[in-house]
Each structure stands twice: as structure tokens, then as C-alpha cells.
Structure 1
Amino acid sequence: MTQNDLKAEQELAAIRALLVEAYGIEGDVSPLPGEHDLNYRVRAQDGEQYLLKLHAPDDADDLGMQVAVLGHLATTAPDLSVSRPVLVRNGVSTVNVVVRGERTARLLTWLPGDIWAKSATRGLASAETLGDLLGRLDRSLESFVHAGTKRVYAWDIGRADMHLQHVDLIDGADKQAAVRAIFERFAAFVLPSLQACPRQVIHNDANDYNVLLDNEGHVSGLLDFGDMVETWRVVEIAVAAAYSLIGARDAVGTIGALTGAYHRVNAISETEAGLIFDLVRTRYAVSMCMAAKQIRENPENTYLLVSQDDVWRELQRLERENRAVAIARIRDACGFAPVAHAADVMAWLERNAHDFSAIVKPAVAKPQVAVFDFSASSSEAEQWAVLDAQAAEARIAAFIREQNADFGIGVYGEDRGIYRGDAYETAISDERRSIHLGVDLFAPAGESVHAPFAGKVAFLHDDAVAFGFGPTVLLEHITDTGDIFWTLYGHLSRETLATLAIGQPVARGESFAALGASEENGNWAPHLHFQLVTDHLGLGGRMFGVGVRDQWQVWREISPDPSVVLGLPVPAAVIVAREKDFLVRERHRRIGRSLSIAYSAAPLKIVGGEGAHLIDEDGTRWLDMVNNVCHVGHCHPRVVKAAQAQMGKLNTNSRYLHDTLVEYSRRLAALFPDPLNVCFFVNSGSEANDLALRLARAYTGNRDVITVDHAYHGHLSSMIDVSPYKFAGKGGEGRPAHVQVAEMPDLYRGRYRYGDADAGRKYADDVRNQVLALAANGRRPALFFSEGILGTGGQLTLPEGYLREAYAHVRAAGGLCLADEVQVGFGRVGSHMWAHQTQGVVPDIVTMGKPIGNGHPMAAVVTTEAIAASFANGMEYFNTFGGNPVSAEIGLAVLDVIRDERLMHHCQVVGIRLMEGARALAKRHAIIGDVRGYGLFNGIELVRDRETLEPAASELDFIIAEMKRKHRILLSSEGPHHNVLKVKPPAPFSAKDCDYFLEALDETLGRLSP
């Protein structure tokens, strides 16, 4: 054993003795790296782990600060993933020890996870979870005050200017130059801007050796509060981002992910967001200075160089980023407009568009325009890209003639990634720019280009690179509110540049340029590339003409859709398709959070549908077993054709006479027995049920309602009131005074079960009880709500005679009875057109929705002449879109398809096959407790024990997830216990689909743990 080994073992022995004496802990001790403190990992014999820190005597102030902050966080943020102090036996926080001189020992709880720098799971989620943790931490530290934090600290990048004196210590002239430039920008721009930002105590050292990650790459802990300082809050984000982006594919995207997560829990200002990119660079510059200084003072401490190779590599990478784009992306990650004034510029353009001059003036007042689809297919786009000048010009001219058009356009937002050439290969954050930022106007060479509105020449540039803009002009404009923007004109003639000068004014409508010939523009056919620019990114005339798909929300702010300027008679822009992660983020940002996303852990991006299948963006077909909206099948050609044909003729409100509306009302009413023969048309099942309630109150003069427990009848306020599924659930406000709730008639787990021939009457007795409860208070019911099969109740079929008896009780008290067919109507039950018919009753009012329009928003109410007449009390009922000609044509097409394709009979046959198959599975899988339903509206209830009926909700979650993941079948759950597998596919669901489902369910059930 060497002398050093012996010394090290003696130190560990002393530490083990300290642990026993001070803390009563026995175990193994192993050293950890550190810059100032001596750090050790302690593995106690009882399995617990700890972090032991030995502080040097000159660290007394810092130590007091660290002890104080953990005490503060124990009170203000007990849930944060930070170490907690372990007290000495006598109740104090520290104890003195002699290890490499006199030191102060402090024992902390151990945090699980791997150090970020050495973790194989680090990624974007790591940055996001770190941002969230730091945001919550800093929110807690706002109220923390300690004298030790007010120090002048070299690692506070808010004082980066103090390191100018150390730049010459850095090895390498290129490194010195880069660092000096960063400090000069810091002094001139960053530091003055920081003065408007909030200050507080921050952790200040969330580096990749102080952050722990779990097996999923999420932050599980934050270590070491020794670098705390009172400074500008935004420094916290910059320090963490500087280390988070090390090795990341997209450096700026990582900064944005961390910043956005921080902002969501601890909002920052737009000023702070705009400083982060420069502050990250400043952190790197400070780190290089500190390392150069310290390594000269202590050349044996290799810890000082642990990250310097990473620092220089990442600084070089950030130096290649466009600062304006980086800041725009960080702003976007926080929910700020990427370009602050872009919206104001667009508003000015829209207000003044009527006064703009045409840029390229065709021979006719209203030209016919041919739209080139550059992204139709790879082979076609490839051909467009490589044609020589003569062939390209002839090709476009022929295309215009074929379309009988005067000139052609290439649209904004097209993916032109197929094009080759260096000008289109320039990357930002390693992402290829491929999405067209302008509109191309194809016209003959020499055609005049006119200014749409007044401006001045700001930039001139001649890009001779193939596939570039060629000669380019940027005109500068200013709005009436002082916002500056530019218009870009590419593919001009070289002669144009010779006639213009920087600063030259250009009047509205003035001809200031001409289109260049093919040989001047990389062999493109003559055309103008026109582009709006709200920020030229410091590039001037070299401004990009294509943007990055994955950053489109930023690029469309830098160069918005120029359609507002052009006013073309054809669409000049397309929607740029985005990845699912972005769509989820944008939904959460721009659409109410209460709108859920199906399969949120792995959401689907659905772009098409056919029959009983949905189709995602990759072309994968998913068997849809939950969509009873597209009743006759997704995108049924007869329904689509009917909608398209009528939309091309007329769509207006129902105050005008129209044959289709009258014919549809006749056809729909014919599906019901007398006296149900009067129709009202609305837009959704919720509206239909709301109108039904108004009808009942008008007819009866009563206001109270009786509903079935756990029912759901719509999202309007009036319907939430009569939906126990909502008002008695999470976020609900409880039962309203005017609503009585009848017992849910559940033959599987209710009071009266299968085999009780009198169950229907017994359950209906509770409807009578609600009638009597009203009567006791001198009130009577206006309406009794019930479905023919209880959907949210768990796909429950009603006991025989239930509705007959319930209707009798309500009608005897002067109330009306409603059949809600929004979910189950239009032949889905197989044996009848309407589910209530399985009970042998005729309601007073029937409401319909969902399947009525096969995905088109329409719904209806059918009632009696007497009830309808009572509603005509002088107050007109009018629904703008209800019964419009397009909806009526669609409704007729749906009825035709149900009739002609015999879908009601099909639902019965396949439904029997499905339920018989599911009952056969129940003989092999005890978890299936009940199989019920009519036609293709079914429920398979899962239980852990058939005697106790303990719901198997988590097992059902597993089944739904696995049926999706492995078999591409889409299902969902239902019922009060969320343990009922809900089956309600489009009616064309075939016998083959049924067998595939049963086989997949059998396989999945077989993989459940016994």
C-alpha cells in the first residue's frame, strides 16, 4: 500500500468513526468529486444512503447560508427534490471534524438517480423537468434572505464584466477573441437590460454534475447550494441551460424547453426571455475565464477542467446560431410572440389591404391563376428542380395553358425539401430549412415589379448561387404605429440592381424592378419570389427564403403569409403539418385544457378515415371501435358527395324555402310513430336536449326534471344540471334544486339483478319516489330524461318494462318523457331504429345527434304537434345553422345509406356475433364479468372477482393501451367505476373486424397477470 493509499484509508476510517459517533450510522463510505468541499457517499447498513459534506474552515459563511436555505425550503417547498439535512444526535445541523485540517461536517439525505453528465437517459424531457424544478425552487427562494447571498461572487454571471481582466489567461487566440466579444456585448447590451429584471437569491449552479436524472430522463434531484447568490433571477435559467444543452441535438430547442418549463411555473418577462441566449454564452465565457484563472492557481485540481472541452465546443455551436432566430424560439417556448411586432404589422396590412397596388399586373383585371404543387410527389418535385432554363420555362408555360390561366403561383408553406444545392442546405440547429416563406409569381422575364405600398430600398443583394434568389431587393416600410417591416423581391434582373440605391424612396404602385431571365436565377423559370419579413435576422439581402418545418411557428412570424398583400383569387398558402408533440403543446396553449386528448400518453395524429378505420399521418390504419358519430362509416362517399354538391350550390339559414329541408323533415318524422311528427333542427345533441327541456317547460308549465343517476345529456349549462355524470363528478357543483336523480337500473351490480323478472318495475319505483318527493314540496315534473341504453352508466341495457313503468309515473304527475337517442339512434341497436323501441314505449320527445350527420354537426328534436304548438308562444325560435340546406342534404344521404346498405340489420347480425364471441371469452377469462348491449352498442364489464364484483379498472386501462399498441384497435372505458369496455364502432364494422377484435382481446386478456 502506498503512502497516499494509507492516508486515504485513514481518512475514510476517521469519517466512519464520525458517522457512528455523531449520527449513529454504520456503513461504507466512498469519495465524490468536488471543487471546494470534501464529499462522500455513505451507504448505511440499513440500506439508507446519505451525502456527507466536509466544509473547510473558511467556508463558515457559505455553510451558514446552505444550512439556512435548506431550513427555509423545508417550510416553503417540502416537495422539492433537494437534499434534506440529517441532524446530529444532539439536534444540531453540523459537527466539527479533522480531515485534511479542521472542517465542519454536514450529513444530507441522498437523492436517487444518475448524475446528468453520466446519464444515458438525458434528453429534452430532462431539460423540461429541470426547468420546472428550478422554477418552483426560485418561487420559494423569493422570500429567502441571508447575508451570505449578498456576496460579490465570481460565478455570478450578472457580474461577468469583472472577468475581462482574465481573458488573456485563456489558451488560444480564437478562444480569447470569442470570449472578449461576449463580454463586450454583455457590457453594452445585456447588463443595461438586466437592470429592469427582478433580483433574488438563486441556486446558481444547476450544472450537469449537480443534477440527477431517473431512468426516464426526468430530474430526480438537485445538489449543492454552495454557489447561491443574490442576482438577477434569469441567471438561474441561463446557468442551467448552459449545461443542459451539452450534447443535445438542438441547442436552442433545449434552452427553449428548459425556459418554457420554468416560465410555466414561475413566469418570466419578455425582457428576461430575450436575454437568455446571450446569458448562456456569457456563462460559457465566465467558465472559460474561471478555469484559466483557477488552474493556474491550483494546477493539480483536475475537477476545474471537468467540463471545459464541452464548454468551448458548445460555445462554438451557439456562435453559429442566428441570434434573432434563437431569441424568437425561446420567446415562443414561453408563449410570447416569437417576433413581438409581427401581429401589429399583419393587422396594419389587413387594415390597408384594400389600398395596395398589384405587384405583378396581369393583362386582365381578374386573372385565372394556376397553382403549382411543388410537393405533390418526390419524382415530380425532382423534375421541377433539375430542369434546365429552357425546359423549365416551357414546362411552366404549358402548365399555365393547361389550366387556362394567365399566370401561375407557387404557394407559401410548401415543403421544398427535395431541392438540391447549398443555398437550401443551410441548417439552423442542425435542422434543414425546407418550408417556403414566400409566394412565387410566375410571369415572363422582364415583367415589371411594382411596390404594393410606399417604402424605401433597404438592401440589395446578388445571390448567384444555383437555386438561390438571384438578384434580390428588400424594401423597408413603416406602419402608422411605427413598426418597421420589409418586403422581399427575389429572382429579379441584374439590371434592376443597377438602377436602385440604398435609401431610395419607392412610391406605392411604382415599377422599381423587373423579373430576371432563367440564366440569372439558377435556371429557374422566370418568376418573382415575394416575401414578407418582420425581422431580417441581420441577414439583410441574404434573408432566407425557406424556413425550418419543426420551427414553423417561429418562421411564420418572421415571414408571415403574404396572401394579405397579394389578394389572389386562389389560395396562396398551405397549412404546414407538424409533429404530434408540437400539436399537443399548441393545444394546451391555445385550446382550453379541459378538452382532453385521446390516448394522451401516445396520442394519434389522424389525417384520414375510411369505413370503420382511421388513418394516421404514417398511413397506419386503426380499427375504430368507439366512434358512433361517423355512423355509416368514415368519409362515406355518398355523404361526402351530398355535402360537396350542396355546398357548391347554396348554404343559408332555414328562413328561406328549400325543398331538401322539407323532404328531410318528412323522411325523419316517418321513422317515428304518431303523434311524433314535428321536427326542430339544431347543431348538436346538447342543443337538442336543451331545446327539449324548453319544450317540456312550455307545455307543462313545470320546471323540475327527473334524470337517471350517472347520466350525461350534454355540455350546455342546462344539461350539466341534468347530468349526474358531470354535476356529481370532479369539478361539479352538486345536484341543482330543480333536479331529482332516480336510481340507475343496473342489472349487473345494482339492487335488482339479472333473473329478477320484476326488476324493471322495481327500478321504476324510484322514478315514482322522485315524483312523490316533488309533490311533497308542491311541485311537479316537467320532463323525465332517459336513454334507451345507458351510455355513461356503463352501456347498460334497461330491465324489461322499466321505461313503460317510469313513463307512467311521470305522465301521471303531468310531466313529459324524453328519449335521448343522441348516442344510440339510427339503427345501431339492430332490432329497431331507436333504442327506446326495445322497451315498447312512445316518448313525448326524442332527441338525436352524433350519427345523424355522420360527423357533420347537426341534430334534431322530434315531438308532437301539441307540444310544438305550446312552444309557439310569440317568442320566435330560430337557429342560424339548424336545418340549413347542406345539413339537410347530408341528413338525407345518411338515411339513404342506412336504408340501401341495410345497416340496421348489419348491426344486429354483427352485434350478436360480437356478444356471443365475448361471452365465449368470458368462459376462459374470469375477469369478464358481464357482456351486454344491443346491436353495435355494447359493454364488456371487467371485475377482479365475480362474487364481490370488484371493478378491474387498472386492468381495463392495460387492455385498452395494449389493444392500441399491439393490435391497432381503438377502444375506451365507461361506467361509474371506469371498468366497462365500451364498444360502439361505425356501423360498417364487419364480421372480419369483429373476429379480429375478439382474437386480439383474447390474446390481450391472456397476458394479464393472474
Structure 2
Amino acid sequence: MADRDLRTEQELATIRIWLIETYGIEASLSPLQGEHDLNYRVSAADGQEYLLKLHAAGDADELEMQIAVLEHIAAKDSGLPISRTFRDRSGGVTSKIELRGPRTARLLAWLPGDIWAKAPLRHMASAESLGRLLAGLDRGLEDFSHAGAKRLYAWDIGRADMHACHVELIDGADKREAVQAILEHFSSTVLPRLASCPKQVIHNDANDYNVLLDKDGVVSGLLDFGDMVETWRVIEIAVASAYALIGSPDPVGTVAALAGAYHQVNLLSEAEVELVFDLVKTRYAVSMCMAAKQIRDNPENTYLLVSQEDVWRELNRLQGENRAIAIARIRDACGFAPIPHAAAVVRWLEKNAHDFAPIVRPSVKKPKVTVCDFSAAGPEAARWSSLDAAEAEARIMAQIASEGAAFGIGLYGEDRGIYQGDAYETAIEGARRSVHLGVDIFAPAGEPVSAPFAGKVAYIHDDAVAFGFGPTVLLEHEVEGGLRFWTLYGHLSRNSVAKLAKGQAIAKGEVFAAFGSADENGNWAPHLHFQIVTDHLGLAGQMHGVGVRDQWQVWREVSPDPSVVLGLSVPVSVIVPRDKAFLVRERHRRIGRSLSIAYSATPLKIVGGEGAYLIDEDGTRWLDMVNNVCHVGHCHPRVVKAAQAQMQRLNTNSRYLHDSLVEYSRRLAAQFPDPLNVCFFVNSGSEANDLAIRLARAYTGNRDIITVDHAYHGHLSSLIDVSPYKFAGKGGEGQALHVKVAEMPDLYRGRYRYGDADAGRKYAEDVRSQVAVLAADGRRPALFFSEGILGTGGQLSLPERYLREAYAHVRAAGGLCLADEVQVGFGRVGSHMWAHELQGVVPDIVTMGKPIGNGHPMAAVVTTEAIAASFANGMEYFNTFGGNPVSAEIGLAVLDVIRDERLMNHCRVVGDRLMDGARTLAGKHAIIGDVRGHGLFNGIELVRNRETLEPAARELDFVIAEMKRKHRILLSSEGPHHNVLKVKPPAPFSAEDCDRFLDALDDTLQRLSV
């Protein structure tokens, strides 16, 4: 051992001298593992680290290929975490060194992280990050070609058929049988389908010793390009998945995560996606064949035996998975329909539903149906399995009888994992199945069962031995275009099924079975389990009746909602709640990534609201300080009741006469002085502002708009044009020719500041300047846009007389003036109903939205009779939903609550308390630069230096995150520099809530300064 250590030290000394001479690097060295090459970690004196590889004499093409690929990737995508090659003093990418014989040396960039095999990992997140890396790498390699990659390589699983001769070398009949079956399936099914898939050079060895992870389990590097080969691209995913799933609690989920992430970066075809699962198993089969061959050639290498334990264990786990479900899950992860023809089945059912025969024919002509509550979450949830047959039947039948119903319904999508007992607690395909895939129809034993449409008996199965259930029948249906699907009928009478034969034709409406009794159905109350099946997953008559909650998007395509067949007057399905990760993925896929998610790093799943609080899926209450939409409080009972009552009576458009619409327009107009007395009703603040532009152009005959810098007035195209916050920001198209932008009147960091009594007039001078610019071009303004308090500008209170002066300049040029009250209206400012009243002005047009309906989509424009008359030019104005009776009743209820609960005064009192408290904190924490606002519309601006006003945006991000994490308070940022803490809670925000916020802010700022 001493001689060996001495030799190592001598070698290290030789390398250190060589490094100085060849690269000019003085460094310490740490030997690393390597199968063929000598590898060292090089720690240079200047702190930089490298990887030194000393290649033994061998395949020159292979080494040259590794060198070429790194150069290629460096040129194509320098952001990939792949080693970069450093050139020696002569400019070469390789050098020569004598160490245990002649060697070729390469110096590479050191990649941080721990190897996957030894790093703390999060299987799904780690797999996703690996998928994205490999996708980026393969995109970069699409046009890479090299002679060294065109080799016939034993580790190319695209050539798995060449290993058939090694199967007999594998120890163990069960292993040989499994590997033989996989290789035969590869040759007969996989290889022919691969022929249509794209080929290219791939890395081919993203194993758990070649992948590096950072402390968060995210891939930080990929090593060793020695296994590169030109083959089918999809093999890259299969090889990586074979290692990524080792030890994962959900191996198929890990494969799906990796493939899905790959697909996001580098699109896969459906054919490729469907081959991934089989190719992962093929990789394991090849590994076992290769190991058997190597052990035969090198029997003393016991390490190979140990490593194969992992391979056989993981292959066994994959063999236990249902192949059809595995492929469906991988398809889903890549954005393809899990069951390709499922949508066509549903469309056929919906198209032909009018012609279906009833499955159960109740004795009364117009049967009533009662929905049986099986939800384990409900307060009356029943554990029917704990009852004996007579009691269970009596319980359900009593429920049916009490409703005067002919039969009862157990819902599709319900969680059945608790009440149905041990049989449904078992793990099938590695996951617990609990969500009901069919509808249960409860009726007395012997009730006839009919076929809703023609078919034939495909499978008959009796669960008497396994679970004590009655027989199950699957009818097969082949409809137009060769489309096939099945319907499943469970818990039948044995006597009724005894007459059936496989292949027997069943006509539409034909009675072919009957409800089984409790004693032949596990002592359950007599009922029929009815289920649509688009793919019986190879299970035939043993098709599952419950699916996996976390895989619901797949299982609901395997067995779609049966409502379409039953056509009942009651809901027979429920929405299956899903976890946040799934909801984020589905939002991105179905709704689009442009719709942002609050707290995207740790999003909230909100399921309820009350007053100033939101309630998440776990029952945690979050103090909501940013939702001015639910102005009178989340789910205010009075508003909810008004909506429900009117919905039960009528909801239609405003072309019909209705008292509520006229009463609401009277009540709303009464909130404004004359001459603002005509109302237009729309659905959103954006629609209101768009209509205001049309009104102004009709009245003035002008087209140009003046807006305030950094303002936001809505998402319609016309409003993006007048919203500098959007058109001058990321993705914006710049200022339109018909728009002029006035200087933002910022008293804290603008040209004219606090203490300047004339600041309002001075800022309004820029409005006059914009009018002059238009005049110089022979144009005049149609409309001047401004909020009473600037929201996106940073919750800025306007300087005294700003609007008075600005309005005068615009009106002198023939333009109209608009007050945008979408954010700040309805008493939020405390002293007045509308924020523009703080300036002592009367606008020509006022727009409202958000708080007007307390979360219901409604908005309004109020203007003068003269302006409204100019708009009546012969073109009818109509809004389908604007002013409907339900919206009118909701609007009236909101006004009533503001009045009766004295919310305007409440906003003033609590708002003063909040701003006084925030100013006290400013005396304690220098990072608070400014506190401003009115009532409960406030801004707290954070700065790093009160003299230079350097924005503290990163610090505000910390504050917002910590207020959420530690104190369960929801806040947001605002302002051009994203350094203003935005405060605009629901109006019921209490004094106690205020004090809680101030204490939490004090605590957070204290920790920020440590």
C-alpha cells in the first residue's frame, strides 16, 4: 500500500509540473474514478476548477468525436451545462503526456454538483430537469455528424436484437424468460415502429454517475460523451429514464416527467412517445445480456452481479405496470391525448345520445332520482362496508324513498377509497386506486338491465372468489368509422348472467341482465355499476372500476363520464380535486402561459373565501391584502343571496324590460353629480374603458388619446394602446401614433416632489404640452385618461389640483376627460365614493369595474346625456350580458352593503390606522422611503437609500415572500421599479387585521436588515 501511495504522489507531482508547462496552471489535484481513463479534479491557485482527463491509447475516432461534439455544442448552445474544452499554450485542444504509458490529455471546465447516484434528489423535479437538458443537447446535435458515431455499438438499444444470443447466459429462468420476451417484443413491434422515427447522434449514457445535481436536486451538469452513437433520438429518453427511475416511488411517473420535460424543449412525435416505455425495458434487457456476457468473459468481476440487482429489481417493477396505462401517462405528460380515440368515443356518444335506450326502466313514468352521498369528505359520509346487507340496503332504500325517487345515484369521480373497504386500498400498478370510474344506480334486486345501444357480449367475469362481488359484463360496441368501445355492467345477478355467451349480440334496449342481491354482491345494497370503457387495458372482464386520483386525467379518458348515456336530471359526476403541480401544468397547457399565477414558486390552491380572508385546500386562512375585486368581502352572504335568488327567477339580456336594471341604473347614477346620469353596462373594466373611447370619439370627432405614463387601463387592443405599462414593457409594440403620454405626477421621485405646493399645476403642464404637440399637427384630443390614484404607477396620490388643471387643458382643446375608477372606486378611498373626488373635479366619463360586482363580471360607464346622445348615431349598441337581471341584483346588493355596513367610513378609519402605523415603521426601518394613499388603497415604497432613492425591488420580493410564508398574509408589488408594496384589501379588512399586518411587516423588515 505504501508503494502504491508513493506512486500516486509521484504521478500527481508529474501532472502538476506538466500543467504548469502546458497550460500555465498551478494547481492541486484529486484523483477521480474512471473505467479506462485517468481523471483528476484540478483546483487552480486562482480558485478556478477543471477536470483533467488522460485518455489511454485506443480508438482515435471516439476521442476525436468527443472533442468535436463539445466544440459543436459550445458553438450551438453555450448555456447548456456541458464541459467546455480549454486550449493549451500552443492552442491545441489535446496534449500529450507520459503516465503509465502514452496518454492524450484534455483539460475541461469543472461542472459543479454531486453525481445523481449520491446526491439528494427529488425524483420528479430531477427527472424533469434532466429531460430539459437532454432535449436542449439533442437539438444542438441535430446537425452534428461524425464517423465515430456511426459505429455498430453494443450499448445502442436500437440494435437490441443483436443480444438475443446472450439471453441463455443470464442466470435464472425467470430472468431469461423476461428478457427473452422483451427482446422478442422489440424485434416484432418496437423496431418496425422505430423505422419512422428521427435518427441523430445522441449522448446515450445519461446514467446516475454521468449526471450531476445541485443542492435542490436540479441537474447541473452532464458528463462523459464516450457512449455517443448515431441512432434513434427517442433512445436518449429511454436510457436516461432507465437510471432516473431507480428507487422512485412512481417509476412510470418519473419516466413521464422526463419525457414530458424533453418534449417541452424538443418536440417528440406520437410514435416516439408511445415507444418510450418499451424502450426503457429494452435498456434493462440489454444491460442484463451485456452483464451476462461480461461475467462469462470475466467471472471474477463480482461488481457486475451487484449492479444487476438494481436492474432486475427495476425491470420487475416495470413488468408489474399496466403497459397501456404507462403509455397513456407518458402520452399525457407530452401533451398528447392519453387514449387517442377517447375523444371520438365521447363525440359519438354526445351526437347520438338522443337515440339511446334507458339502462334501467323505473316503474314510474317520470322518475325522480336522488344522489347518494358517498363522499368521505362529507359530514354525513357513510362507511357502507361496515354495515350488514340488510342494514346497508335499508339505509340506501330509505334515502331513495325519502326523496320519492325511483332509484339513487352514486357519482362518477367520487373518492371511494375509504368507505368501500380493503379491496380498494390495494396498490394496483404501483398506485392506490380510489376514484370511482362509473355511476352506481341503486334499485331493488332483480331490477332489469338493458343495453343503451346495440353491441355484443365481449367479456363475462365473476369476482366471487377474489372480492365477493357479483358478475361483471362488458358489451363491445363498434360504431361508424370502425370506432370501438365498451360499456361495463357490474354487480349483476348470477342467474341473469348465466344465459349470456361471449360474442352474443345484444340489441338496443334489450334486457340482458338484472341487479344482483346483496348476498351475492359482498353484502352491498343492490346496485348496478355502469361504466364507459374506451380501452380495457388488457384486463378484459376484470377492468378496474376505480382509478388513481393522481392520474385522473388518464383514467377519465379510459372511462369517460357516463352522464352522456344516462341523461338524468341530476348531476352524476363531480370534479376530482387535483394537486397544485397538476393544476399548474394543465393551466399552461389548456389556458396558456401568458396567464400568470400568483406566487408561482409556491402557488396557492384557493377553495374558499370569507371577508378579508382566502381559504386554501388545507383549510389555512390567508389574509388577503391585494384583492380589491371582492370589495365588500369574499363571498358576502348578502351578495351571494341576491345572485342566487335572481338566478332562480330569470337571467336574460337587457332588451327586455326589467325593474332591477332600471333601479340599479338609478341607484348607480345617484352616486355622481349632474350631469353624470346615463349608464352603460358591460362585463369588465376593459370593456368599460373601450366603450369610453368610442363615446369620446363619437362626441368630439377626434381620435387621439392622452394617457399618463406607466398607466394600465385594460387588456383589449384599444386599451393596450393607451397603457404605457403594457405597450412600453416587455412584449409591447411601442407607442401608437394616436396616443400621447403625459408625465407621471410622482411626488416622491418625480421632477416635482412633496413640499412643492405648485406641483399639481407643474405636472399638468405636460398634459398641456401633449395637447400642443397634437395641435401642431392639426389634431385635437378625444379623451384624457387618468385614475384618481395611480395604481400601476405605484399607488401614487395625485398632487393637489393636478386633475383640475389637466382637465382644463384638455377641455380647452375640445377633448373629454375620463376618470378610471376600476381600481379605486366604491368608497375605497374612505373620504369619498370615488377617487377623482379627492381632486374636486367632475369628469365627462367615469368607468367602473372590479369592485362593482364583488367578483361577479360586471362593469359600467357613466356619462352625460349629451355624450350618450352623440353615440346614438344609428348603430345600435348592445351587450349580451351587460345589465342582465342577475348582474343588476348583485350591483344593488353591493351598494346596499357599502351603505348599510358603513364601509366607506370603515375604509377611512382603518386606512388611517394602517398608514399611521406604516409611517411609524418608517421611523424604525430606513428601507421604507414613502407611505402614501387614501383609505384602503395604499403604497409603501422601499428604497435602499433615502437620498438616492435607489429602488429596493429584491428586498420587496423577500418581504412579500416572507409575509406569505411566515405570516400567511398575501401582498403584491407595484410601480415602475417594482419596489412599492401594494395594499388594497377587501373593505371589511379590520383594525385587528391591520395590526396583524403591521406587526408582521415590522418582523419581516427586522429580519431583512439582519
Q: Same fold (TM over 0.5)?
A: yes
- Paired amino acid for 1:39: N
Is 2:334 aligned against 1:334?
yes
- Equivalent in the alignment of 2:673: 673
Counterpart contact for 2:370–2:408, Cα < 8 Å: yes
Is 2:431 aligned against 1:431?
yes
Partner Cα distance (1:71, 1:1004) in 2: 48
Could you say what secondary structure the match of 1:916 adopts? helix
Q: Percent identity?
A: 79
Could you say what secondary structure the match of 1:995 adopts? helix
- Equivalent in the alignment of 1:40: 40
TM-score (norm. length: structure 1): 0.98
Partner Cα distance (2:357, 2:803) in 1: 69
Partner Cα distance (1:21, 1:705) in 2: 71
Partner Cα distance (1:980, 1:381) in 2: 48
Structure 1 residues 453-511: Cα deviation after superposition (integer angstroms, max 9, x where no partner): 11111111001157665200001111212121110000001123311111111111111
Shift of 1:715: 0.7
Structure 2 gaps, min length 5: none
Could you say what secondary structure the match of 1:513 adopts? strand
Structure 1 residues 698-738: Cα deviation after superposition (integer angstroms, max 9, x where no partner): 11111111111111111111111111111111111111111
- Counterparts of 1:99-178 in structure 2 under 5 Å? 99-178=99-178
Partner Cα distance (2:748, 2:163) in 1: 77
Count of aligned residue pairs for this structure pair: 1010
- Paired amino acid for 2:370: A
Structure 1 gaps, min length 5: none
- Equivalent in the alignment of 1:695: 695
Could you say what secondary structure the match of 1:938 adopts? strand
- Equivalent in the alignment of 1:67: 67
Structure 1 residues 833-884: Cα deviation after superposition (integer angstroms, max 9, x where no partner): 1111111111111111100000000001111111111111110000000000
Partner Cα distance (1:957, 1:575) in 2: 35
Shift of 1:321: 0.5
- Paired amino acid for 1:169: L
- Equivalent in the alignment of 1:909: 909
Query: Which shows bigger deviation, 897-906 or 2-11?
Result: 2-11
- Counterparts of 1:900-939 in structure 2 under 5 Å? 900-939=900-939
Is 2:966 aligned against 1:966?
yes
Could you say what secondary structure the match of 2:348 adopts? helix
Counterpart contact for 2:469–2:520, Cα < 8 Å: no
Could you say what secondary structure the match of 2:277 adopts? helix
Partner Cα distance (1:428, 1:298) in 2: 40
Counterpart contact for 1:332–1:338, Cα < 8 Å: yes
- Paired amino acid for 2:728: A
- Paired amino acid for 1:968: R
TM-score (norm. length: structure 2): 0.98
Shift of 1:519: 1.1
Structure 1 residues 388-423: Cα deviation after superposition (integer angstroms, max 9, x where no partner): 111111111100112221110001000011035453
Partner Cα distance (1:301, 1:224) in 2: 23
Partner Cα distance (1:219, 1:76) in 2: 20
Shift of 1:556: 0.4
- Equivalent in the alignment of 1:548: 548
Could you say what secondary structure the match of 1:117 adopts? coil
- Equivalent in the alignment of 1:256: 256
Shift of 1:5: 4.4
- Equivalent in the alignment of 1:209: 209
Partner Cα distance (1:55, 1:429) in 2: 45
Partner Cα distance (1:624, 1:223) in 2: 47
Shift of 1:818: 0.8
- Equivalent in the alignment of 1:397: 397
Counterpart contact for 1:252–1:429, Cα < 8 Å: no
Shift of 1:95: 2.9
Change (3 A) 1:466 1:908: farther
Is 2:508 aligned against 1:508?
yes
Could you say what secondary structure the match of 1:54 adopts? strand
- CA RMSD in angstroms, aligned pairs only: 1.6
Shift of 1:51: 2.2
- Paired amino acid for 2:745: P
- Counterparts of 1:233-272 in structure 2 under 5 Å? 233-272=233-272
Structure 1 residues 115-147: Cα deviation after superposition (integer angstroms, max 9, x where no partner): 000112342111111100100111111111111
Partner Cα distance (1:380, 1:680) in 2: 47
Query: Which shows bigger deviation, 585-594 or 72-81?
Result: 72-81
Shift of 1:307: 3.1
Counterpart contact for 1:789–1:798, Cα < 8 Å: yes
Change (3 A) 1:858 1:451: same
- Equivalent in the alignment of 1:769: 769
Partner Cα distance (1:604, 1:228) in 2: 43
Partner Cα distance (1:365, 1:8) in 2: 94
Counterpart contact for 1:944–1:952, Cα < 8 Å: yes
Query: Which shows bigger deviation, 300-309 or 965-974?
Result: 300-309
Counterpart contact for 2:376–2:419, Cα < 8 Å: no
- Equivalent in the alignment of 1:96: 96
- Equivalent in the alignment of 1:683: 683
Shift of 1:20: 3.8
- Paired amino acid for 1:96: K
Could you say what secondary structure the match of 2:226 adopts? coil
- Equivalent in the alignment of 1:857: 857
Is 2:603 aligned against 1:600?
no
- Counterparts of 1:20-59 in structure 2 under 5 Å? 20-59=20-59
Partner Cα distance (2:922, 2:379) in 1: 53
Query: Which shows bigger deviation, 303-312 or 656-665?
Result: 303-312
- Equivalent in the alignment of 2:868: 868
Query: Which shows bigger deviation, 855-864 or 467-476?
Result: 467-476
- Paired amino acid for 1:940: I
Counterpart contact for 2:707–2:742, Cα < 8 Å: yes
Counterpart contact for 1:421–1:467, Cα < 8 Å: no
Partner Cα distance (1:345, 1:646) in 2: 38
- Equivalent in the alignment of 1:474: 474
Change (3 A) 1:175 1:200: same
Partner Cα distance (1:528, 1:210) in 2: 54
Query: Which shows bigger deviation, 495-504 or 426-435?
Result: 426-435
Counterpart contact for 2:198–2:232, Cα < 8 Å: yes
Partner Cα distance (2:226, 2:263) in 1: 25
Shift of 1:11: 4.3
Partner Cα distance (1:777, 1:616) in 2: 56
- Equivalent in the alignment of 2:716: 716
Partner Cα distance (2:297, 2:53) in 1: 24
Is 2:808 aligned against 1:795?
no
Structure 1 residues 558-591: Cα deviation after superposition (integer angstroms, max 9, x where no partner): 1111111110110010000000011001111111
Change (3 A) 1:365 1:37: farther
Structure 1 residues 962-1000: Cα deviation after superposition (integer angstroms, max 9, x where no partner): 111111010101111111111110010011111111111
Could you say what secondary structure the match of 1:918 adopts? helix
- Equivalent in the alignment of 1:587: 587
Change (3 A) 1:653 1:748: same
Partner Cα distance (2:308, 2:755) in 1: 78
Could you say what secondary structure the match of 1:1008 adopts? helix
Shift of 1:323: 0.5
Shift of 1:280: 0.4
- Equivalent in the alignment of 1:567: 567
Change (3 A) 1:17 1:754: closer
Change (3 A) 1:14 1:301: farther
Could you say what secondary structure the match of 1:967 adopts? coil
Counterpart contact for 2:321–2:430, Cα < 8 Å: no
Partner Cα distance (1:612, 1:342) in 2: 43
Change (3 A) 1:462 1:5: same
- Paired amino acid for 1:781: P
- Equivalent in the alignment of 1:820: 820
- Equivalent in the alignment of 2:453: 453
Counterpart contact for 1:382–1:418, Cα < 8 Å: no
Shift of 1:49: 2.5
